[in-house]
Structure 1
Amino acid sequence: MQGIKVLVTRPEPENSDTCQRLSSIGASAISLPMLQIKPCNSEHEIKKLHSQLFNLDAYQYVIFVSKNAARLGADLIDECWPMLPVGIQWLGIGKGTTQQLNALHIPAISNPGHTTEMLLNWLKPVKMREQKVLIVRGKGGRPVLATSLEERGAKVDQLELYERIAPIYDAQTFFFLEQPDVIWSTSGESLDNLTKQVEKHLPDFKNIALLTPSERVAEQARSHNWKRVICAQGADDDSFIAATKQHLGR
């Protein structure tokens, strides 16, 4: 990765962590977050979230959909449960999410494949019947996980901890933006935001290799006319670094 320029579009604080990781292996990280995470922090919102979490011990499964869900969720759980309730299967979608949970002392495991779709394949329908599931996520995310689990007979609630907002950049940001060798886009929503900015300011960027975390996002990129789309088979840094090295023949 020595000298390779990587455009990183993760939201903060993950963006800074990824840029530091890239710098540590000799790459040049170009930071351009394409999502802004706004935690729910009003008094009313926090009271509502605490009220939900006081019933945490009623659930058999708690599923965290992202590193931000893990980070914010673990803090709130700690406020309500100094000792974690027993009998819960803690799940993180993706290696990075699970590692974040483990670092925060929540004994989560990842499903094989590290995507929502693979999680649903892994959770046998018969096992989910009458199970109570809490999905920890942001507002307005994809409904497929909750809908599919309910179709299998699970009783699903959602703990919505944050909003995802498109950052506002001026034209000058893109005028001075260094051209990367590869672009990392780690979610469908950030890809949509990136595509809008690129089409407006830097249409030639669509010819640069674009790495995505899943085939679903890869297909989304192709539908937006990105020319060189590569699926990293995971949203964590290790997956993206490995896919970048393979693409570059290193």
Structure 2
Amino acid sequence: MQDCHILITRPEPENTLSCERVRHHGWSAIPLPMLEIAPIEENDRKAAIRAKIFDIDTFDYVIFVSKNAARIACDWLDDCWPMLPANVHWIGIGQGTTQTLIDEGVPALSNPGHTTEALLEWLKPARMKDQKILIIRGEGGRPELGNKLEERGAKVSYLSLYDRKKPRYSAQTFVMLPDINLIWVTSGESLANLSEYVTRHMPHWKSLPILTPSSRVNQQAIDMGWVNATCANGADDNSLIKATELHTGQQND
């Protein structure tokens, strides 16, 4: 299935990078982001972000929930901290987020897994008591990580650096797409947006193979009526490419 057409639903700028990786493997990449990342622009919100970034050395742990959180945070850190504070533990959820931080000069660590749940398992309760933790994310992100850390005695603060928006597509957008053989989805929110459009415009897509980043999102896909959902065990390109190779290999047998 070298001519496999893969729908890539990541937000930009990661969508373009994922499409390049997919094409490098000989497949066709069809970009259709199901989430828009909009950095915060309001002056009062930017002033609050700047104040929190200047206080980042008061935290024991700083946790970045996504590559977008890492990418935007690094711009703020470059502006406010010519030299990073040495007493902070920088943590990325997932290898892609961690690598984004490392590439920007932030000495980040990552848990062996790729999900919030895996991170909670890695951060043993004894380590968290009375620790000050800053979670960097988008506006309105999942509360589970912070809630669980607070249950362990941590003092949790949040810093939202961007808004997440649903892209606006018309029925014509979907009609003009080539035939799709496989779909990549990398978050529960992207899945929900995709499912809404598919139910309205392309209901037969619900029978297509769809790769999801975690067992949680995979179950969401099944609950939303996707009958051929598979967990890729990661939202990063390497995990999704490996799962795609397994799928195309099965199709070739």
Shared topology, TM-score over 0.5?
yes
- 1:93 to 2:96 alignment: no
Q: Deviations over 1:109-156 (max 9, x none)?
A: 111111000000110001100001010000011000111001100011
Name the SS of the counterpart of 2:68 in structure 1.
helix
User: What CA deviation, in whole Å up to 9, does each residue of 1:5-53 have, x standing for no partner?
Assistant: 1100000111011011111221100010000011112221211101011
Q: Deviations over 1:182-206 (max 9, x none)?
A: 1000000000000000000000101
Number of aligned positions between the proteins = 250
TM superposition score normalised by structure 2 = 0.97
Structure 2: gaps (5+ residues): none
In structure 1, how many angstroms separate the alpha carbons of the residues matched to 2:163 and 2:85? 27
Residue of structure 2 in register with 1:226 after alignment: 226
What is the distance in 1 between the residues matched to 2:243 and 2:224?
Answer: 21
Provide the residue aligned with 1:208 in structure 2: 208
1:79-118: CA deviations, max 9, x gaps? 1111000111111111111111111111111111110000
Distance 1:181 1:174 in 2: 14
Match of 1:68 in 2: 68
The within-5 A match list for 1:187-206 is: 187-206=187-206
Task: Give the aligned CA root-mean-square deviation in angstroms.
Answer: 1.0
Contiguous gaps of at least 5 residues in structure 1: none
What secondary structure sits across from 1:157 in the alignment? Answer: strand
TM-score, normalisation: structure 1: 0.98
What fraction of aligned residue pairs are identical, expressed as a percent?
A: 54
CA distance in 2, matches of 1:240, 1:143: 26
User: Partners of 1:248 and 1:227 in 2: how far apart?
Assistant: 18
Q: How does 1:61-210 map onto structure 2 within 5 Å? A: 61-210=61-210
State the alpha-carbon separation in 1 of the partners of residues 41 and 78 from structure 2.
Answer: 16
Give the SS at the match of 1:120. helix
Letter in 2 for 1:196: E
Stretches of 4+ moved more than 3 A in 1? none
Could you tell me how far apart the structure 1 residues matched to 2:189 and 2:34 are?
8
